[in-house]
Amino acid sequence: MREFSRTRRPLIQRGGARICPGSDFARIETLVTIHYLVTRFKWKLCCLDNSFSRNPFPVFSDGMLIEIEPKDSVRIH
């Protein structure tokens, strides 16, 4: 039996000799989802204690709890 010396590593989008065929679709799908979340919904922080630490990125102590509700001017089907 033949053994493979390479370790299994996940393919990173836009990297390496082999490119994931769905990387562009995944990118567009993510951008469309973010667009709809930002333009069609109101966002409000739920907790009053918004303390966070930086190590090296901001991390909220109890997580970032948000309340999302549809905007009045937008009709959702």
Structure tokens at 31: 């951008």
Tokens of 2: 């033949």
Q: Which residue has the tokens 């109890």?
A: 62
Map out the domains of the chain as residue ranges.
Answer: 42-77
Residue with tokens 């918004």: 50
Cβ atoms of 47 and 65 closer than 8 Å: yes
The set of residues, in sequence order, having a beta carbon less than 8 Å from that of 50 and lying 6+ positions away, is 60
pLDDT in tens, 9-68: 555 555 666 777 788 899 999 999 999 999 999 988 887 777 788 888 888 877 788 899
pTM of the complete model? 0.54
Task: Please give the backbone phi and psi of residue 55, each rounded to the nearest 5 degrees, phi first.
Answer: -155, 75
